[in-house]
Structure 1
Amino acid sequence: MRESFGTALVTGGGSGLGRATARHLAAQGCRVAVLDCDLAAAESVAKDIGGLGLGCDVSDTAAVGAAFAKVQAVFATAPRLVVNCAGIGTAGRILPRDGALPIAAFERTLRVNLLGSYIVLSHAAQAMAGLAPMADGARGLIVNTASVAYQDGQIGQAAYAASKGGVAALTLPAARELARFGIRVMTIAPGLFETPMTEALPEDARAAITAQIPFPARLGAPEDFALLVGQIALNPYLNGEVIRLDAAVRLAPR
């Protein structure tokens, strides 16, 4: 990891993609703040990597601001690399069979996945803008997490796809606006990945999911995501783009 990204902050760092990212960045020499709504999970990962674990609801502006202030106090600097992995996966039809209108579930999904990403991005931009520029004028990098569902949303994924579509759409205007501060903004859109949910599936169900993936014909590993975060950090010309990380999969309607 280039020396300029010596301090990093990862939301959703207590599990899954965020945990793998926190571990990867620490292995590359970063001091890492691990944020998660599950404080125990955040502290467990932080203990393993010699980082800082903090409990934080990313949809709470005050909580996110307090987390950034804590990072500043402990590490004596704002993070130059912020990775937004916090999010929730929801499934539900627009018109379920019981006739209900699950509007509250839609609102909560957008609040965590989209608004939460924006809140963290805003605080990150504010913190990074106060840092001294590096030799190439750069001050930092923000990496958000969308999903291939933003383009390939399946039946029952209206809320999730909309939330991740918002994250993807945010990427370019944010990158353009923050360019004057030397702050890059990128988004990764993962495909079918190993998650606690897929790990709990019967083997035949996992095989059916894997059969949709062209090559490599396997579910993505969280380490694949973490590796791409590191590669984005190392390549200063990547900015304002959404990268699908999906082994060429395209999701079917259901």
Structure 2
Amino acid sequence: MTRASLDKQPHEVASMFDRVAANYDLTNDVLSLGQDRVWRKEVARAVDARPGQKVLDLAAGTATSSLPFAATGAYVVPCDFSLGMLMEGKKRNSWLPLTAGDATKLPFKDDVFDTVTISFGLRNVQDTDAALRELYRVTKPGGQVVICEFSQPTWAPFRTVYTEYLMRALPPVARAVSSNPDAYVYLAESIREWPDQPGLAGLLQKAGWSKVAWRNLSGGIVALHRGTKA
């Protein structure tokens, strides 16, 4: 699998992430020019984890994204379907309950988590609608979802420049810093093909989430969507 236009087969996506696990966090930092740190801080602020709460961090990868939630005293479950990512995460954060799971068939009971969150992983799920329904299922009534995902820059001239960066500059940079640069060609194309801000909001509402809203980060390169389970 190298093109976003192809069907995203779960085993192929998992295998792709297995191969980039060792240098994944570093590569993201380089390719985003350090902006990924800013985005994750905004996610932590939106999640607003507190002691005693249960937080599901889906597509957590190496569990780097889970650390800010755990630091608040919340009980955090990092979940991912890439065993390579989870094994790398276990080396770094062995005290966290890293869990293998498919976003479309989560291994949790109904109404478990106060907050469910996923950052930069939803567009890699084969069935987005099924994943959003599963997140809804495992969330407690009154709980929230926080989704951080690449989106569409709001200023047209910048959107053109951004697209050129994704398709022209990102692959050569990935070849210099990643163990599997082809994976980042796919990731660039998956970003380009992903729904815009209103499009993702519509999918959340379709899955049952209410009070759906979003906030643009970095001019719309990334959007932070939120919703509530009634």
More strand by share: 2
**The structure with more radius of gyration:** 1
Q: TM-score by structure 1 length?
A: 0.45
